[in-house]
Amino acid sequence: MPVSDADGSGPSFKRRTVIVDGPDPIDQHVGGQLRLRRAQAGLTQTELGAKVGLSFQAVQKYETGENRISASRLYQLARILNVSLPYFFEGLDETGHPEETVGASDLTRKEASMVLGAYYGIKDPRLRSACLLIMARMAERSTDDDV
Amino acid sequence: MVINASVRVGDARPEIACAETESCSYLRALSTIEHIAGFEHTARNYAAAASHCREQGCRAVSMPDAGTPSASPTPIPIPVKAASRPPRLTAFAREAQTIPFIRSNLIDITSDHDGNYVERRALKLNSLPTRGDPLSSLYRYWGDLRAAGACQFSSIDTVPLTRAGIIGKLHVVDVSSGDPEEFRYELFGYDVPIGRYEAPRAYPVAIMADSVMRDYNTVRLTAVPRLHRMRCGIGGTTHHYTRLILPFLDKRAQVTRLLVAIREEAGNGVAVEPGD
């Protein structure tokens, strides 16, 4: 991560350590993607570790970002998990921070879930359509008002 | 990115309860476990997948099976040798506590004036079947973690839990407080038909709450797993189940979380017969 360019020589990079600074956010993100994909593939940490010659603790440390994954290992993992290398960096913005998505917000999730629940709670399909129409009109009007 | 349907690895679906207002309970439970274990990234993805179920179809699938849990596990018979009526536990002390000594070959019975009762028998962990049982799969997994010195909740991997087919029957209990009255459920199994509570003390029947808090506290203090066969008559309904309580440590090697797994037994959910 760039620290400062006070001396005018451009951004410098401070060496960070897991013990002092905690895991690097990019390593954490890559580890999170690894964990997600491993779970999707239905592999336990032990099974994935066996495929790459590692213990399950080592896989665990990759997943938490505590240990950094080397390029060769990442390539190996991508092949085993049948994903492309960019997959591990999906969701990172240009500065290397995880992108905030609207859908990830707890509040939004809860609200969306409640709306869906209420909508499907209406058993009459005609009433459901009517509600949808009303909501669509209100949304249009809201946009117009905003403008 | 959300769970990708193209990576489905099995056809059989796990027991999933899709509540109208809460989307997919199965994926939400996985999300909660990941969140508690500290994996926010995976937790967010599971939660997002859960909320997309209605639009794009269910995304949850069974993982490839290692132990093939049976659909209806054979109940382990309880040999009735004797019955004792231990004194009812009241409020727990906030300081040092003694652990009530309970002989494992006895059934403890407590009852109240409303006709509710709790029968509890401690079973030996080696009485679990070696294969084909969700509780034994879970216990083996926990044993592997312990053997590797990784018995922290942050070490948990949801894949073995999924394979055991036990996600809906799992509670995660926060026991970081020394006071059992303050134990709380971080996850309450959505498929456990005894109600849904935020804390053990919230059970509506005091003898049930006391029994649960006592057992959780015993595991917290001893860090030793416990297996119980429970048969309770609560509010006119019989609850019959086997319960496995597994301790998990924090970084200071203190038991701060319990994983509680429930296996329903024959006769669960039926009405209490008069004179039972």
The reported pLDDT for the residue numbered A103 is 44
Same domain, A28 and A61: yes
pTM for this predicted structure? 0.71
Strands B83-84 and B107-111: parallel
The reported pLDDT for the residue numbered B9 is 33
CB contact under 8 A, A90 and B1: yes
- A8-22, B56-70, B72-86: least confidently modelled range: B72-86
Given CB atoms, is A43 within the 8 Å cutoff of chain B? Answer: yes
* End position of a domain, from candidates A60, A77, A99: A99
Among chain B residues, CA nearest to A110: B22
Given A33, A45, A113, which is nearest B23 (Cβ)?
A113
Give the residue from B121, B74, B112 showing the smallest Cα distance to B231: B121
Residues 6+ apart with CB under 8 A from B172: B32, B33, B36, B153, B185, B186, B187, B257, B258, B259, B260
Given CB atoms, is A38 within the 8 Å cutoff of chain B? Answer: yes
Pairwise CA distance, residues B33 & B15, whole Å: 17
Longest dimension (CA), chain B: 57
The HSE-up count of residue B215 (CA atoms within 13 Å, CB side) is 27
CB B84 within 8 A of CB B106: yes
pLDDT tens sequence across B224-259:
999 999 988 888 888 899 999 999 999 888 999 999
Pairwise CA distance, residues B35 & B29, whole Å: 10
The HSE-up count of residue B202 (CA atoms within 13 Å, CB side) is 11
Pairwise CA distance, residues A68 & A50, whole Å: 18
Pairwise CA distance, residues B239 & B271, whole Å: 9
Same domain, A57 and A115: no
Domain boundaries, chain B: 5-56, 83-264
The reported pLDDT for the residue numbered A21 is 74
In a domain, A93, yes or no: yes
Which chain A positions have a beta carbon within 8 Å of B26's beta carbon?
none
Pairwise CA distance, residues A34 & A44, whole Å: 12
> Which of A9-13, B60-64, B70-74, B242-246 has the highest mean predicted lDDT (pLDDT)?
B242-246
Average pLDDT over residues A8-12: 58
Amino acid of residue B137? S
What the block records as the tokens of B247 is: 């301790």
pLDDT band at A76 (very low <50, low <70, confident <90, very high): very high
Same domain, A63 and A109: no
Q: In what order do the strands lie in the sheet with B184-187?
A: B83-84, B107-111, B117-123, B226-234, B237-249, B255-264, B170-174, B184-187
What's phi and psi for B42, nearest 5 deg? -70, -40
Query: CA of B222 to nearest chain A CA: how many angstroms apart?
Result: 25
What the block records as the tokens of A20 is: 């002092």
CB contact under 8 A, A42 and B10: yes
Distance in angstroms between the alpha carbons of the first and the last residue of chain A:
40
In a domain, A57, yes or no: yes
Give the residue from B103, B104, B106, B109 showing the smallest Cα distance to B87: B109
ipTM of the complex: 0.72
Residue pointed to by tokens 């086997």 = B242
- A33-42, A129-138, B143-152, B185-194: least confidently modelled range: A129-138
- Which listed CATH number (3.40.50.1820, 3.10.180.10, 3.30.450.20, 3.40.50.2000) goes with B83-264? 3.30.450.20
Pairwise CA distance, residues A96 & A1, whole Å: 9
Same domain, A95 and A132: no
Domain of residue A49: give its range: 18-99
Which chain B positions have a beta carbon within 8 Å of A57's beta carbon?
148, 150
Same domain, A69 and A115: no
What the block records as the tokens of B130 is: 């070696």
In a domain, A110, yes or no: yes
The reported pLDDT for the residue numbered B128 is 87
CB contact under 8 A, A98 and B41: yes
pLDDT tens sequence across B107-148:
888 888 888 889 999 999 988 888 888 999 999 999 999 998
Residue B103 has pLDDT above 70, yes or no: no
Helix (H) or strand (E) holding B231: strand B226-234
Name the average pLDDT for chain A. Answer: 79
pLDDT tens sequence across B184-227:
999 999 888 777 889 999 988 999 999 999 999 999 999 999 99
**A128: helix, coil or strand?**
helix
Same domain, A88 and A120: no
How many domains would you assign to chain A?
A: 2
Same domain, A84 and A113: no
Pairwise CA distance, residues B143 & B53, whole Å: 35
